């Protein structure tokens, strides 16, 4: 089987590791983490462009290294090749290995901010796509330069105030880290923001299954040509519907 993996760069190390050990041939393409900041519709459009560039007949399936990601997968159409996506809210769940584990952790740890290698090394210094859409990717100096001192400081306060509601920084350790630098960086960030630090063990089995064609059971959504992905706000997260069906969003 030959697979085409389209994944978020936030999973770069984990996906590379999974693909290196995969029994299948997997071609990889990573898209910028900044897609996440564009909002669901724009992210869907960018992902669809990428899906549409995959040549018909070239692959047995296109596998997506994404969760629903704020509806970024909602509306993606399989035109000529099967698309497979994990049933997951976002990359944090993918790194935790199951949506049940993620949802249970989320419920028990309200106010957690998550970090992984990708979130640490690909978060701020790469070109992101929409720094001013949400404003949340900007820093104080940039805001002052663009909006003046008073307004810049006000915006910084408004755009970062949500952080004061967080209590914990949860670092997901996958075992792929080269050394302790990522954990140290995460600990420094937690200390700097006055948050507790917590480390949980990652579980990459879903990523391995995704690139090994092991999609049986209810962890993955298989979208046949002629169908599209639709968000489903129950335990299944996403479903496949016929493209001809009216888009109700």
Partner 1 sequence: MTELKKLYEAILSGDNKTALAVTQQAVSEGVQPMELITNYMIPAMSEVGRRFECEEYYVPELLLAARAMKGSLEVLRPLLAASGAQPLARVVIGTVKGDLHDIGKNLVSSMLEGGGFEVIDLGTDVTPQRFIEAVHAHKASIVALSALLTVTMPMMKNTIDALKQASLRDRVKVMVGGAPVTREFANSIGADGYSETATSAVALARQLAAAVAS
Q: State the Cα–Cα distance between residues 155 and 176, nearest whole angstrom.
A: 37
Q: How far is the CB of 133 from partner 1 (least distance, A)?
A: 5
CB nearer partner 1, residue 17 or residue 160: 160
- For partner 1, the binding residues in 183-212 under the rule CB under 8 A are none
Q: What is the 3-state secondary structure (H, E, C) of 131-198?
A: HHHHCCCCCHHHHHHHHCHHHHHHHHHHHHHHHHHCCEEEEEECCCCCCCHHHHHHHHHHHHHCCEEE
- Cα Rg for the chain, rounded, in angstroms? 19
Regarding 172 and contact with partner 1 (CB under 8 A), the answer is: no
Q: State the Cα–Cα distance between residues 246 and 214, nearest whole angstrom.
A: 31
Regarding 108 and contact with partner 1 (CB under 8 A), the answer is: no
Q: How far is the CB of 187 from partner 1 (least distance, A)?
A: 21
Site string for partner 1, 141-160 (x = CB under 8 A): --x--xx--xx--xx--xx-
Q: Are 136 and 158 in contact (CB under 8 A)?
A: no
Binding site for partner 1 (CB under 8 A): 39-40, 68, 70-71, 74, 89-90, 102-103, 106-107, 110-111, 132-136, 138, 143, 146-147, 150-151, 154-155, 158-159, 161-162, 165-166, 231, 233-234, 237, 248-249
């Amino acid at each position: 089987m030959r697979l085409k993996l389209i994944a978020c760069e936030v999973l770069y190390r984990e996906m590379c590791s999974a693909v290196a050990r995969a029994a299948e041939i997997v071609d990889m393409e990573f898209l910028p983490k900044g897609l996440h900041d564009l909002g669901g519709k724009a992210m869907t459009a960018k992902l669809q462009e990428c899906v549409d560039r995959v040549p018909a007949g070239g692959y047995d399936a296109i596998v997506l290294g994404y969760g629903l990601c704020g509806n970024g997968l909602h509306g993606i159409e399989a035109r000529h090749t099967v698309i497979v996506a994990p049933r997951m809210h976002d990359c944090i769940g993918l790194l935790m290995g199951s949506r049940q584990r993620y949802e249970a952790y989320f419920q028990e740890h309200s106010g957690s901010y998550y970090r992984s290698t990708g979130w640490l090394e690909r978060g701020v210094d790469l070109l992101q796509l929409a720094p001013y859409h949400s404003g949340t990717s900007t820093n104080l100096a940039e805001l002052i330069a663009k909006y003046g001192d008073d307004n810049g400081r006000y915006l910084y306060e408004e755009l970062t105030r949500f952080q004061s509601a967080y209590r914990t920084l949860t670092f997901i350790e996958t075992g792929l880290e080269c050394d302790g630098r990522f954990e140290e960086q995460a600990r420094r960030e937690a200390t700097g923001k006055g948050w507790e630090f917590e480390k949980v063990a990652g579980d990459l089995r879903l990523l391995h299954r995704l690139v090994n064609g092991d999609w049986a059971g209810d962890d993955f959504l298989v979208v046949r040509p002629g169908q599209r992905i639709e968000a489903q706000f129950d335990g299944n997260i996403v479903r496949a519907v016929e493209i001809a069906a009216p888009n109700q969003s």
